[in-house]
Amino acid sequence: MDDVSCHMVTNGGAEEDEQEGDRSIQPSLPVLMPKERKLILHLDLNNTILVSDAATGQGPRAALNSYLSTVAWGQISDSGEWQWVSDEPSVKPPCEDAVNYCTHFGRDGNFSDSNIGQRFRGVFNDHMRLLEWQGEADDLFTQQGEDGKGYNWILPSFFHMLESLHLQGRQFCVILRTFGVDLPRVIRSVHAALQGKHPQFPQLQQVPLTIDLTPGRIRCSKRDIVLTRGSDRKSTKAKERNIYNYLSSVDGIGGFQDHFDWWARNNFTSSGGKPFWIDPADCNTQHIIIDDNIRLTDHDTIVNCRVFLDKEKGKESRKALTSELYDICLVQTDLLRAIAEKDYFLDCIRLCEENYEQYLKGLQVE
C-alpha cells in the first residue's frame, strides 16, 4: 500500500502486551491520519434545502407545519389518548417509547394551528420569520407564502455551505436527490447563484463549481439499479460498484430524481429507499446523505444503504442498518437548525467526518 492516507490500524501484539502486563497496549503500526477526502454530498430537496414541495402544492407555511408534526413527540395512554412527552421538537425520540405526532395522526400542514399542536406555535412563528426574504422579491430565489409574503425558496445555509467549502479549499461535489418534481428548477436557480445572481450571495460567482443542468434519474427493480443522465447510463447489473464509482467521480453540482414508486412498493422501508453506497476501503472519498426522512428505524426510512465488502468475502456489499451509520454517512435533517443556523450543513459534515474516522478504525480493529 503506497497511499499513507489510508488507516493502518491493527491490534497485532496486543495479546503479548496483555500477558506481560507491564506496558500499555500499542498497535504494531502507527495510526496515520487520513488526508482530506473528497466529499460527495447527497442532499434531499424538500424539508432539507427547500421549505416547500411543488408535488404536494405545499408552500412554506404548510411545509414547515408538516415538518413540525414529524419532530413533535408523545405517547399513547392506556385509554388511547395522546400525551405529550416533550415541548421541544427533536429529530430523535426524547425518551423510550416516544412516538412522533406524524406516526399517529399523519403529516399535518396546519399542525401549529391545531389544538394539539398549538404549543409549537412559537417555534413555527420564529422560523417563519427567519425564512422571510429580505429586500425586493426575486423570481429565482423567492417564493410567495400562503400569507402573500416573500420567503427564501432555497435555504441560505445551503449557499453558505457552498461558499465555505470552497474557501476552505475542500474538494467536493453536491448531488441533489429527490423523489419530488422540484429538481429542474432548483438546478436552474443554483446555476444562477453560481453566476452571481443571488442578491444575498453575489460572491458565489467566485466559486468555480460546474453544474450539470440535465436532471438525471435513478430507477430500481429486483434485477438492478439504473442511473441515467443525458448520454450517461450506469447499471448495477454487471457490477454493483458501477454507480458508486460514477458518483464518486463527478464534480460540481447535479441532481437525480429517485424512484418513489419503488419505495412505495416496498412499503416505504429502507429496502426500497434511495440507493446509497459507502466503501470503507476507499481512502479518497466520503459519501454523506442528508435527508429529513432518514429514520433510525429501518421500517420507515428513506435510504437503502449498502456497505461494500472485501473481495474475498464473496458478495459485493451488505445492507447496513441506519443505526450503524447514523451521523456518520446518514444525516436526518434538522430543518429548524437548517433554517436558523447558517453553519448547519457545515456542522453536519464536520460531525460525519469525525465519526467516519472512528467508524473506520472500529472496522479495522474487529
pLDDT tens figures, 34-77: 558 999 999 999 999 999 999 999 999 999 999 999 999 999 88
pLDDT classification of 153: cutoffs 50, 70, 90: very high
Shared domain for 248 and 109, answered yes or no, is: no
pLDDT classification of 15: cutoffs 50, 70, 90: very low
* Rounded CA separation 106/90 (Å): 17
- Note the helical H segments in the chain: 14-20, 60-68, 101-105, 121-131, 156-167, 183-194, 241-249, 260-265, 322-325, 335-340, 344-365
The predicted structure's pLDDT at residue 80: 83
pLDDT at residue 26 tops 70: no
Q: Which domain holds residue 97?
A: 66-122
Helical axes 344-365 vs 156-167, angle rounded to 10°? 60
Q: Where does a domain end: 77, 101, 122?
A: 122
Q: Where does a domain end: 122, 141, 164?
A: 122
pLDDT tens per residue, range 202-218: 999 999 999 999 999 99
Shared domain for 255 and 114, answered yes or no, is: no
pLDDT tens per residue, range 286-342: 999 999 999 998 888 999 999 999 765 557 999 999 999 999 999 999 999 999 999
Do 316 and 241 meet the contact criterion of CB atoms below 8 Å apart? yes
Q: Where does a domain end: 78, 99, 122?
A: 122
- Count the alpha carbons within 13 Å of 263 in the hemisphere toward its beta carbon: 21
Shared domain for 209 and 330, answered yes or no, is: yes
Has residue 13 been placed in a domain? no
* Rounded CA separation 24/61 (Å): 58
Has residue 78 been placed in a domain? yes
In 3D space, the residue among 309, 353, 303, 326 whose CA is nearest the CA of residue 42 turns out to be: 303
Shared domain for 184 and 220, answered yes or no, is: yes
Do 230 and 223 meet the contact criterion of CB atoms below 8 Å apart? no
Which three three-digit cell numbers place residue 25? 497496549
